[in-house]
């Protein structure tokens, strides 16, 4: 292969490259179309993935940044089919399209796509900024806390520039490719934030600097700084001389312990009285057992045997649906992420719906004069 390539004349090399690039673009459009259809059918849920994003990273092996761009572009393609033409002929690429995610709307799609056509990523960012001004440029990140610190007169030491650190779950990529953690597609419909609120400023960034250390940057408001200082004072006995990371980490640990305890149902005395018949109430001890048994993870298993890995927004799912008399006992309960809980509820509803229709038809045919409605 190397020999053949080495023998190719220049024009043949470039011609072939251009051919492949064109092919690559049409493959991208096809891939996005497939993702969009998968998304529409919600197939990934049945396969045991909590989202299209999770399918892209875990099954397709994409990086988070790559998965974000493709899932976002797939949804844009579904909303604005004309996008396919721009991607296919190269007027837009994946990056410039995704930059447009918050400014495209049905009324102005073509106009905006035309304005972005052929532009670089930086130029498209400028275009987007003009269409939807963003508050607080990243440069202000370091200044904000210092201003607060000066005005509050809260001691000369610490709370330096690094104050703008906040542990926050970042839903999305930390790749240097991503200038800011992109908002999840679901947030695309939100109105533009008011420029007057600096706390709604640039999205938080979590960036690894070594395998062990990360830099976390976030814009914080005045009340955050005030609360931070109050917590620091309150913890000064327990954590004398603690740095900002230790203080925030302590907050995280306390929050985590409380949330876990609530989720598990631990910490409450087991109620001696049994739940009233027909009550949805799940005793704390039962929740604890279910949580422990399922390992604090969605227990949905897809049709190919894959178990969902989500630990996000876990809910209790009734195997035998509550609406059909399923009881709130450990054997009938299991953990589900929100996406899978809804997925199964829809399936249960669908099955029940079908069963009711079948039963109604049977009665109508077999029993003369049977009242409409049939069994529940």
Q: Which residues bind Zn ion (CB under 5 A)?
A: 50, 298, 300, 308, 310, 337, 340
Phi, psi of 72 (to 5 degrees): -65, -45
Report in angstroms how near the CB of residue 310 gets to Zn ion at its nearest: 4
Report in angstroms how near the CB of residue 297 gets to Zn ion at its nearest: 8
Of 42 and 249, CB closest to Zn ion: 42
Report in angstroms how near the CB of residue 53 gets to Zn ion at its nearest: 13
Of 69 and 340, CB closest to Zn ion: 340
Q: Which helix (H) or strand (E) holds 188?
A: none
Report in angstroms how near the CB of residue 43 gets to Zn ion at its nearest: 14
Instruction: Report whether 181 contacts 218 (CB < 8 A).
Output: no
Report in angstroms how near the CB of residue 72 gets to Zn ion at its nearest: 21
Of 282 and 308, CB closest to Zn ion: 308
Report in angstroms how near the CB of residue 55 gets to Zn ion at its nearest: 12
Of 203 and 337, CB closest to Zn ion: 337
Report in angstroms how near the CB of residue 122 gets to Zn ion at its nearest: 38
- Tell me whether residue 354 is exposed, middle or buried, using C-beta atoms within 10 angstroms of its C-beta: 0 to 12, 13 to 18, 19 or more: exposed
Instruction: Report whether 35 contacts 78 (CB < 8 A).
Output: no
Of 218 and 337, CB closest to Zn ion: 337
- Tell me whether residue 55 is exposed, middle or buried, using C-beta atoms within 10 angstroms of its C-beta: 0 to 12, 13 to 18, 19 or more: buried
Picking from 370, 300, 354, the residue whose alpha carbon sits closest to that of residue 50 is: 300
CA 335 to chain centre: 19
Long-range contacts of 197-203 (CB under 8 A, 24+ apart): 197/135, 197/221, 198/135, 198/136, 198/140, 198/144, 199/224, 200/135, 200/136, 201/134, 201/135, 201/136, 201/140, 201/141, 202/134, 202/136, 202/137, 202/138, 202/141
Of 249 and 307, CB closest to Zn ion: 307
Of 302 and 321, CB closest to Zn ion: 302
């Amino acid at each position: 292969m190397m020999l053949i390539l080495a023998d190719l004349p220049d024009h043949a090399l470039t011609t072939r490259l251009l051919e492949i690039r064109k092919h690559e673009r049409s493959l991208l459009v096809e891939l996005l179309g497939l993702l969009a259809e998968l998304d529409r059918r919600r197939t990934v849920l049945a396969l045991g993935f909590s989202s299209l994003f999770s399918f892209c990273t875990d099954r397709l092996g994409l990086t988070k940044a790559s998965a974000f761009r493709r899932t976002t572009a797939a949804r844009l393609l579904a909303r604005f089919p004309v996008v396919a033409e721009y991607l296919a002929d190269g007027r837009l690429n994946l990056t410039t399209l995704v930059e447009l995610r918050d400014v495209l709307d049905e009324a102005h799609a073509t106009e905006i796509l035309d304005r972005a056509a052929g532009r670089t990523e930086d130029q498209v960012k400028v275009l987007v900024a003009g269409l939807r001004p963003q508050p607080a440029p990243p440069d202000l990140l370091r200044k904000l806390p210092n201003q607060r610190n000066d005005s509050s007169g809260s001691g000369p030491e610490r709370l330096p520039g690094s104050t703008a650190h906040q542990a926050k779950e970042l839903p999305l990529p930390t790749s240097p490719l991503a200038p800011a953690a992109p908002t999840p597609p679901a947030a695309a419909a939100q109105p533009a934030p008011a420029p007057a609120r600096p706390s709604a400023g640039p999205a938080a960034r979590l960036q690894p600097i070594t395998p062990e250390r990360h830099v976390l940057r976030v814009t914080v408001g005045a009340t955050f700084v005030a609360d931070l200082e109050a917590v620091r004072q309150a913890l000064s006995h327990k954590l004398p001389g603690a740095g900002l990371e230790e203080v925030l980490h302590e907050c995280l640990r306390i929050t985590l312990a409380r949330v876990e305890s609530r989720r598990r149902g631990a910490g409450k005395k087991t109620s001696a009285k049994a739940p009233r018949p027909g009550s949805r109430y799940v005793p704390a001890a039962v929740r604890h057992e279910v949580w422990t048994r399922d390992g604090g993870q969605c227990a949905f298993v897809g049709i190919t045997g894959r178990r969902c890995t989500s630990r996000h927004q876990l809910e209790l799912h009734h195997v035998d649906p509550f609406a059909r008399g399923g009881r709130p006992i450990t054997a009938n309960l299991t953990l589900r992420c929100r996406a899978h809980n809804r997925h199964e509820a829809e399936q249960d509803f669908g099955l029940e719906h079908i069963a009711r229709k079948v039963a109604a038809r049977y009665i109508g045919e077999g029993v003369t004069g049977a009242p409409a409605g049939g069994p529940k």
